[in-house]
């Protein structure tokens, strides 16, 4: 197996997990709406939805045909892809981030989360060099420099004056806790 084919297979697996996760999220969202929940039930009993407000969303479920037939092979593939997220190899199935959120608050929060994760994976050292940090960030993002700069701007990282070393700030922004 060549390095190129391994990379392609990894990307294909990541795309499958991404598609399965998006579809599962969509299905759960549909189940929270009474009309769509009823439409799913009717479709699974072979009754094609006539209301476009129901038929449209249901048509986005790739494993459910318009007449209510279930593509069992595709549904099983979706279930298997979601199962990888529960195993030890989940990190190998995730796509790398290709951008940061547009809003400053979300960008700062995400950059902080990413650098804390990278720091943890590096063994929580006091300082790391720029190449070490870049390599750790590159595991989760396609643009390590962008995340590194955003983390410095957010106060999650401190850079030495010469820019050669970084330390995790003790006051790194934490994700907002959801009120209970």
pLDDT at residue 84 in the model: 82
Choice between 8 and 82, residue whose per-residue pLDDT is larger: 82
Kindly report the average pLDDT of the chain as a whole number: 85
Average pLDDT over residues 161-178: 71
| Poorest-pLDDT segment among 54-63, 93-102, 171-180 | 171-180
DSSP structure string for 99-147: ---SSHHHHHHHHHHHHHHHHHHTT--S-EEHHHHHHHHHTTBS-HHHH
> Which residue ranges make up each domain of the chain?
3-93, 104-168
Look at residues 44, 42, 49 and name the one whose alpha carbon lies nearest to residue 70. Answer: 44
Counts of helices then strands in the chain (DSSP H, E)? 8, 3
Going by C-alpha positions, the residue among 62, 59, 19 that lies closest to residue 39 is 59
Is the pLDDT at 5 greater than 60, yes or no? no
Q: What is the pLDDT of residues 23-52, one digit of tens each?
A: 999 999 999 999 999 999 998 888 888 899
C-alpha span between 174 and 97 (Å, rounded): 19
- Residue 177 is predicted with a pLDDT of 46
Encoding tokens for residue 168?
A: 């995790």
Nearest CA to 75 among 94, 59, 61, 89? 61
Question: So what's the pLDDT on residue 179?
Answer: 46
More confident residue, 3 or 16: 16
Give the mean model confidence (pLDDT) for residues 157-162: 93
**What pLDDT score does 2 carry?**
55
pLDDT at 173: 45
State yes or no: pLDDT of 175 exceeds 60: no
């Amino acid at each position: 197996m060549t390095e190129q084919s391994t990379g392609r297979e990894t990307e294909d697996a990541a795309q499958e997990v991404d598609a399965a996760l998006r579809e599962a999220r969509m299905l759960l969202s549909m189940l929270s709406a009474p009309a769509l929940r009823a439409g799913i039930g009717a479709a699974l009993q072979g009754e094609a939805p006539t209301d476009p407000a129901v038929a449209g969303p249901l048509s986005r479920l790739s494993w459910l045909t318009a007449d209510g037939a279930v593509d069992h092979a595709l549904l099983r593939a979706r279930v298997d892809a979601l199962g990888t997220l529960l195993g030890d190899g989940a990190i190998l199935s995730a796509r790398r981030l290709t951008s940061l959120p547009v809003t400053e608050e979300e960008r700062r929060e995400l950059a902080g989360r990413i650098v804390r994760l990278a720091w943890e994976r590096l063994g929580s050292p006091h300082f790391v060099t720029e190449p070490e940090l870049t390599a750790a960030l590159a595991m989760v993002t396609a643009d390590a420099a962008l995340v590194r700069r955003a983390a410095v701007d957010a106060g999650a990282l401190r850079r030495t004056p010469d820019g050669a070393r970084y330390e995790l700030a003790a006051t790194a922004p934490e994700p907002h806790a959801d009120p209970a």
